[in-house]
């Protein structure tokens, strides 16, 4: 016990608890050391709890900062989606027509015999003609629907729609673009409809950040629940209310 006391004496003296040791109203060093050990264990638990709470606060505000703009977007578009029938939108349709050059027409006709009833990308020469003469940029991964009568390429997009068509019977080319406005565009962002791989990754990362924000908030509530008796009743109401709505009104 004396060796342990000497060791703790050195630790306590270096750790700044020397004054606390001197003020204890006991004359026996062993008794003082037992009290000091209890004090250390108690303080260690309190410090660990404080460190955990501080870490939770840090991750809570970081995740909230990451989620801020996304949560605003998804909150507003949640309202617009819920009242889509009450929000009027006038689609704007743009059409383009042209005659397919003879060389491209011959190339498309030859490929149509190979891809009849299948899907395949447009030839690079056709893509270059579209970009230069029609201002239509395509990616090599977009596949058209081929038949002996026509080549049809759907071009779905967020907030609208588009398609192009090469007729193999009369060498005509048609392109149509439909723009349904910024509200439709924001709604498609909410749904992840025709928004591409990058936006899909953003939604995944945003969902993880929201999950972190919610879990850290729940743990912070747990720490404060002892001094705030309404914490758990309000949390329970937040769980019970949507559950009752689903059970009673969603069929």
Strand, coil or helix: 193: coil
pLDDT tens digits, residue range 49-78?
778 888 899 999 999 999 999 999 999 999
41 plus 81 within the same structural domain: no
Listed residue (193, 195, 143) closest to 164, CA to CA:
143
CB 184 within 8 A of CB 203: no
107 plus 176 within the same structural domain: yes
Q: What is the spatial distance between Cα 37 and Cα 24, in angstroms, rounded to a whole number?
A: 13
pLDDT tens digits, residue range 198-209?
999 999 999 999
Backbone angles phi, psi at 162, to 5 degrees: -160, 160
61 plus 43 within the same structural domain: no
Structural domains counted in the chain:
3
226 plus 204 within the same structural domain: yes
Residue 109 lies in a domain: yes
- Name residue 167's beta-bridge partners: 150
100 plus 220 within the same structural domain: no
Rg over CA atoms, the chain: 34
190 plus 163 within the same structural domain: no
171 plus 197 within the same structural domain: no
Residue 251 lies in a domain: no
43 plus 64 within the same structural domain: no
For residue 11, what pLDDT is reported? Answer: 45
Residue 176 lies in a domain: yes
105 plus 172 within the same structural domain: yes
CB 143 within 8 A of CB 115: no
Give the tokens for residue 183: 């509200």
40 plus 61 within the same structural domain: no
172 plus 56 within the same structural domain: no
CA angle 36–40–44, rounded 5-degree value:
170
pTM of the model: 0.74
Task: Taking the CA atoms of 165, 193, 68 and 56 in sequence, report the sign of the dihedral they define.
Answer: negative
pLDDT truncated to tens, each residue of the chain (251 aa)?
444 444 444 444 444 444 444 554 545 555 555 555 665 556 556 666 778 888 899 999 999 999 999 999 999 999 999 998 888 878 999 999 999 999 999 999 999 999 999 999 999 999 999 999 999 999 878 999 999 999 999 999 999 999 999 999 999 999 999 999 999 999 999 999 999 999 999 999 999 999 999 999 999 999 888 888 899 999 999 999 999 999 999 97
CB 195 within 8 A of CB 189: yes
8 plus 122 within the same structural domain: no
Residue 128's domain comprises 92-180
């Amino acid at each position: 016990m004396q060796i342990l006391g000497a060791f703790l004496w050195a630790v306590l003296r270096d750790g700044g608890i020397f004054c606390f040791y001197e003020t204890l109203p006991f004359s026996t060093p062993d008794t003082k050391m037992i009290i000091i050990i209890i004090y250390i264990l108690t303080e260690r638990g309190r410090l660990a709890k404080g460190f955990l709470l501080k870490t939770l606060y840090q991750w809570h505000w970081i995740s909230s900062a990451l989620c801020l703009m996304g949560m605003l977007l998804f909150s507003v578009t949640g309202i617009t989606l819920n009242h889509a029938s009450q929000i009027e939108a006038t689609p704007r349709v743009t059409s383009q027509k042209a005659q397919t050059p003879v060389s491209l027409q011959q190339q498309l006709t030859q490929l149509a015999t190979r891809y009849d009833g299948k899907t395949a990308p447009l030839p690079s020469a056709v893509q270059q003609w579209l970009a230069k003469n029609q201002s239509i940029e395509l990616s090599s991964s977009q596949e058209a629907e081929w038949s002996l009568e026509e080549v049809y390429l759907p071009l779905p997009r967020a907030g609208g729609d588009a398609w192009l068509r090469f007729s193999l019977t009369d060498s005509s080319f048609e392109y149509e673009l439909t723009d349904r406005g910024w509200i439709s565009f924001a709604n498609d962002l909410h749904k992840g409809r025709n928004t591409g791989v990058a936006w899909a990754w953003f939604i995944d990362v945003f969902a993880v950040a929201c999950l972190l924000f919610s879990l850290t908030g729940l743990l912070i509530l747990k720490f404060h629940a002892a001094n705030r008796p309404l914490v758990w009743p309000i949390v329970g109401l937040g769980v019970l209310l949507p559950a009752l709505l689903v059970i009673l009104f969603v069929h």
